[in-house]
Amino acid sequence: MIDRIYADFLDQQHREAAELTAQSDLVKIEPDHSSAFDLRDAFIQGLLTRGRRTAPRAPQLATPTAGDAPPSRYKIHLFCNGLVQMRDGTVAPANRFVVGVSLPPDYLRCAEAPRTLSLLEPVGAFHPNVAFPFICLDLAPGTGIVAIAYALFALFSYQKVQLNHGLNPVAAAYARQEKHRKRFPIDRRPLKRGGGPAIPAEGGGR
């Protein structure tokens, strides 16, 4: 039996996700009833088992199927300008990022980025606070799906960069170089059509 407060929260997230998707050309938020996080864990375990040093292509998710309960998992597609590291180590532009978001039953009491967020694409997303499939982002309990979308947009577009406690030291060194910092943010567009600047990610100061 789903808790009513939690169910109301999920209903609100569903509505707000649809509203933001309708008001933006840079984000699409869709319910995801597949097992993105289970596949992520299996993917990581496979890497450890095989002892591979480079990540293979991200696993393909099953097609979501509709359910009776409000969705608690989403895919956030961001069509913003960011960076990706190629297999040869070069850093190149990217303009699409996909993140899985899970809002479990205890999410209103406890929120942790590793349980909530999972980078699905691209594997080589290049940012100091990203190491596939993990994303370092401070989340308060009950942070809404729209706020998460804004925070991820600010992260991938380099509007906010946390250099002190990052996940990717190579990307952090890249971001510290003045010639690169002059390019930040890489994408200056507002997430919502006709809106103001993106909402900064929590704890993401330079």
Domain positions in the chain: 4-51+72-181
pLDDT band at 187 (very low <50, low <70, confident <90, very high): very high
Q: Residue 156: which residues within 8 A CB-CB, separation 6 or more?
A: 78, 80, 82, 97, 125, 127
Supply the pLDDT for residue 69. Answer: 76
pTM over 0.85: no
Position 166 scores a pLDDT of 79
Does residue 44 carry a pLDDT above 60?
Answer: no
Residue 105 CA to its chain's centroid (Å): 20
Domain 4-51+72-181 has CATH 3.40.50.10490: no
Residue 199, token pair as written in the block: 């909402």
Query: Which pLDDT score is estimated for 38?
Result: 61
Contact 75, 60 (CB under 8 A): no
Which of 35-44, 53-62, 90-99 shows the lowest mean pLDDT across its residues?
53-62
Collapsing DSSP states into helix, strand and coil, what is residue 141? coil
Helix (H/G/I), strand (E/B), else coil: 101: strand
Contact 199, 27 (CB under 8 A): no
- Residue 27 has a pLDDT of 97
Whole-number percent of the chain with pLDDT over 90: 67
Cα distance between residue 39 and residue 91, in whole Å: 27
The band of 101, judged by pLDDT with boundaries at 50, 70 and 90, is very high
**Pairwise CA distance, residues 127 & 172, whole Å:** 7
Angle of CA points 10, 190, 103, to nearest 5°? 20
**DSSP one-letter code for 31:** E
Considering only residues 50 and 173, tell me which one the structure prediction assigns the higher pLDDT: 173
Inform me whether the pLDDT recorded for 51 exceeds 70.
Answer: no
Residue 84 binned pLDDT confidence (cut-offs 50, 70, 90):
very high
Output the average pLDDT for the chain.
84
Q: Which of 96, 108, 42 is nearest to 72 (CA)?
A: 108
